[in-house]
Amino acid sequence: MKDGLLLIDKEGGLTSHDVVQKVRRILKQKKIGHCGTLDPDATGLLLLTLGTATRLTRFLIRAPKVYEGVLQLGVATDTYDASGQPVSTAPAEAVAALTREQVAAAMKSFEGDIAQKPPPYSAKKVNGVKFYELARRGEDVPDEPKDVTVYELSPLSDLENGSLRFRLACSSGTYARGLAHDLGAALGVGGHLAALRRTQIGSFTVEAAVNVAGLEETVNAGQTPATAWVPFDRIPLPFGEVTADPQQETRITHGQTVLVRELAGDEGDWVKLINRRQELIAVGTVVERIGTAGVGIVQPRVVFR
């Protein structure tokens, strides 16, 4: 295990950075990154890039995410989740009067392209300072909405004492606890995120992941976690793929443009470039389309071999 993707099932109480540090120690490898932060209280899928694969992080981090969580209505907190302090509490009878159908309708209204304001206690930065650092100092946090997409927000259970399980499918950068807070406000009773588990990132699912303890046990036994490890050349990328012939491969490894056929995508789109041995040699962009027969010129941007 040196260059590739490692699927980790993060436990609660650890930051994403904590997980990276633990994996570095277990694998005795320094060059490790991750593809999308999970809050400390959240659990579930964390994608780690190892070695050369760290150069693919910027492409993998954009993948859509799927979560399952618990919404608690009736109490809003300053952090928008269960770790914060209550800032408002609704009358018990107002919460009890809500139905699953009402909550489902409110959830439906958040689906689609929306402008979401990041929670005040978040790692988003302004002038190099994280929002939560400003919030803890009692300073105003900038009101900077971000365009995100919610593909699905739906209930998975009935309401019980204001608590309801839900499923969320969304674009990268969406704050689940922000949605919980805004949903509570839309229902007129306030709310916060009580629990969250990430179940999917792109085509990767948490069922294939390994927890940190399991990874250490596997490595100590001299083995590789079968489903949790994706070798570098097999990493799926969210764009088209082109197979280069030997002459093209030489040009690509020198950073030179190549003329390719059967090209999917428009000018400016990214392309995965592999050789006939199915090895990933580079990632490039389409710089020119020629005619309508799928012919175009690709410029290598990130060369691996």
Residues 127 and 134: beta-carbon distance below 8 Å: no
Measuring CA to CA, which residue among 275, 223, 228, 232 is closest to residue 253?
A: 275
First-last CA distance in the chain: 18
Dist CA 215 CA 294 (whole Å) = 44
Phi/psi at 189 (5° precision)? -125, -5
Q: Is 265 left (phi over 0), alpha (psi -120 to 50) or beta?
A: left
Give dist(CA 265, CA 122) in Å, integer. 36
Find, among 135, 129, 44, 36, the residue nearest to 83 by Cα: 135
Tokens of 169: 């499918």
Distance, in Å, from the CA atom of 50 to the CA atom of 56, rounded to the nearest integer, reads 10
- State the catalytic residue, choosing from 39, 81, 113, 143: 39
Active-site residue flag, 245: no
Catalytic residues, which ones? 39
